[in-house]
Structure 1
């Protein structure tokens, strides 16, 4: 009996030894097949307009960038004016914005470098589907004049964003003062998604980029596109690095990598296809080379 117990004990010990060796070998193989990252991902601060966030585009692009680059992107989605201010103060590493004239100023000041054209879409005037001011199909100056005459409610972002800058530019070019609407001119001071919601609730008109409107339209079924296609409504996006020669805490390598990512062919294909499956049309367009 003792002999049988001894044999059983030896068999158990042999099995444990073989299993242990096998597990060690398997662990070693796994380690060799999946090497660890050599260093922790560095933070990269992206200051951008709310339209890239509200449209859902960044939800597609940022994971793709992080997958192929050892950076952790911290996105700050604000009005373009605020994003540019962050750049001039060195509080961001890279900017993705859509106010060309304001952008050029911080390039000229040396606060931003490596400015690259990325994509475009357009601004549109939207409002109640019943269109009380009767602006549908008019030119931009005609539509704004009609709104003034009818004292129609107009909701402005009023946040120094690219969209707000464009709105003020359109009023000025039309030789009209939106403040003459008095209480009917509502200054939201918020992002595009929130401004659209306010306009919908107030049965008012507003200027929006097409991408954000299409992404949010399901939440405002009674709001319609009323004025579109005017050359003055073109909406151009640029990406640029904050200049480390003026702001020494900037993540220069990360910013440069992000700019290169935004203009490479794979990213262009993602941008070109974004929105097609869901909305039947792309939300952003690429410039011809």
Structure 2
């Protein structure tokens, strides 16, 4: 895919990072030039609430990087969560609520107090819990490829769906990022958190959300099927659904511009 020179320059922009701590856990916050550094008044920016991108199990900000740069015309941050992406591993299994409170508290400590949470895969679960922990700060939620689809409620079925998606629907670059991030995470922590992901009651927890929600999937996603995603969008009073053509589960890496357009459209409609 070719881009005008200015867009290519933006995609190659360097991300800055800093460690963030909350509840005795350590993660990493990342941002690009043009976004206020942590401690500055990101929420007061005329562009509106910041976008905060949240990865799923085993991975990192890297597979969200293309989407980050597409959204970076507005304040945009990515998180590497505790135990993933080479951050210190916690001494115990963390619940989804533990991760949600970490996200909300780390953002508050960084001076980011108004945001649109954008989660992918298990990151959608973290996003829901962060919004429930600090509902006054989370203005909207975007759930990309949400898990766990009701068709895949066993580890075997979920693993098969992920494998088929990687083999049939993903690009070589997205598979490389995911696999190398799995290596950095390590099997011990990955499999510590798998039962947490599998047992999370996504639909039930969504019932407590009172802000606009966009459920988004690639139309070839083997992991988050259309019926499941539509059902989640219908589970909240202000839910909507969007599908991106020609993409699988890691839709934000393969079709970053289309995903960013859908998110911006949703954010603009929700604020209107």
TM-score by length of 2: 0.32
Q: By percentage of residues, which structure has more helix?
A: 1
Larger Rg: 1
Could you say which structure has the greater relative contact order, defined with CA pairs below 8 angstroms and 6 or more residues apart?
1
